[in-house]
Amino acid sequence: MLLEIKDLGVAFGGLRAVENVGFRLDKGRTLGIVGESGSGKSVTSLAIMGLHRGAEVSGEILFDGQQLVGAPPESLRRLRGRRMAMIFQDPLSSLHPHYSVGEQIAEAYRLHFGASRRAARTRAVEMLAEVGIASPKDRVGDHPHQFSGGMRQRVMIAMALACEPDLLIADEPTTALDVTVQAQILELIKKIQDDRGLAVVLITHDLGVVARVADEVLVMYGGRVAEQASADEIFDSSLHPYTRGLLDSLPRLDEDDDTPMRTIPGSPPSLLAPPPGCPFHPRCPQRMEVCERDLPLLSRTSPGHLAACHLGSP
């Protein structure tokens, strides 16, 4: 087991951003974490990377057997980049405008492997080729602004993979891209995962993205897990009304472009003053009296399928 999260909690003072999150992820597998903004999905990934500034983290994060909760910053720094890497929605904010993409890919490699300048540059060219940048030898000296949005995301992926990490965390990697480019980047992530046996945590608000790549899915709502199952289970037999709401808002092939998009009415709960009972109850079309009073516990509904909803309980 490469990554095992048990009862993870992340709080910022009185604000509980994440509670009771757990999952296991093996090499070569992809976990999709889905939710709206404020659901705790990004906070979860930052906690895994040890980048949760000013937060109190509880529970366990086991990476290849090593406990990361409470680990010294120095050992987390060694793991980051080398064994776990992250890419974000907006490559421009993560790339330095004044350095060539080659220098930026090479820098991480030099840092972690102590490679010579020359070897690191060769590595950068190799990586650009691997992520599908044409004529990599000619492009290695170019700067980020000379690349399109999709190409910049390819460069970010090259940077993330230069040190051959075991785990890639991708936080909304395709959200800023148009649909065609989005599909290309997802294909690239899938291909690289196959070639390298990477474990991937893919964070997104879009269940459609998850459908393309994830093996397992964790649906988060208000900092908690609403539902958790294999991707097939989530798409064929989801139980939680929130998951079903997300599925209903996916565009369908049998509709023309004039059909208005369905969305879940209402907005996500405030983490500072969460509603009593089920965090989803103010928006839930199936809420019952008990939902306004008691928090539904995450429980097993069938092997490998967990849901936090009173509908499923006896």
Question: Which residues of the shown chain bind Mg ion in the complex (CB under 5 A)?
Answer: 42
State in angstroms the smallest separation of the CB of 277 from ligand SF4. Answer: 7
Q: Which residues contact residue 154 at a Cβ distance below 8 angstroms, ignoring those fewer than 6 apart?
A: 128, 131, 132, 133, 185, 188
Q: Which is nearer to ligand SF4, 149 or 275 (CB)?
A: 275
Where helices occur in 100-248 by DSSP H, the ranges are 101-113, 117-130, 136-139, 149-161, 179-196, 207-213, 231-237, 241-248
Residue type at position 100: S
- Residue 87 contacts ligand SF4 per CB under 6 A: no
Choices 45-53, 92-100, 174-182, 278-286; region in contact with ligand SF4 by CB under 6 A: 278-286
Which string of b and e fits 110-122 if b means at least 16 CB within 10 Å? bebeebeeeebbb
Buried/exposed 170-190: b ≥16 CB within 10 Å, e otherwise: bbbbbebbeeebbebbbebbe
Residue 310 interacts with ligand SF4 (CB under 6 A)?
yes
Q: How many amino acids of this chain bind ligand SF4 (CB under 6 A)?
A: 14
Write down the least CB distance from residue 271 to ligand SF4, Å: 17
From residue 207 to residue 246, what is the string marking binding to ligand SF4 with x (rule CB under 6 A)?
---------------------------------xx-----
**Beta carbon of residue 216, minimum distance to ligand SF4 (angstroms, whole number):** 21
Residue 310, contacted partner among Mg ion, ligand SF4, none, CB below 5-8 A by kind: ligand SF4
Nearer to Mg ion, 30 or 42 (CB): 42
Q: Return d(Cα 270, Cα 274) in angstroms, integer.
A: 5
Q: What is the dihedral of CA 170, 172, 177, 182, to 10 degrees?
A: 60
Give yes or no for a contact between 313 and 303, defined as CB atoms under 8 angstroms apart.
no
> Is 144:95 a contact under the CB 8 Å cutoff?
yes
Among 133, 185, 296, 305, binds ligand SF4 (CB under 6 A): 296
23 near ligand SF4 (CB under 6 A): no
CB of 239 to ligand SF4, least distance (A): 9
Look up residue 251 and give its two tokens.
């565009």
Q: Distance from CA of residue 21 to its chain's centroid?
A: 14
Phi/psi at 304 (5° precision) = 80, 5
Q: At closest approach, how far in Å is the CB of 303 from ligand SF4?
A: 21
User: Which residue stretch of 22-30, 209-217, 253-261, 288-296 sits at the interface with ligand SF4 (rule: CB under 6 A)?
Assistant: 288-296
Chain residues binding ligand SF4 by CB under 6 A are 240-241, 278, 280-281, 284, 286-288, 291, 296, 309-311
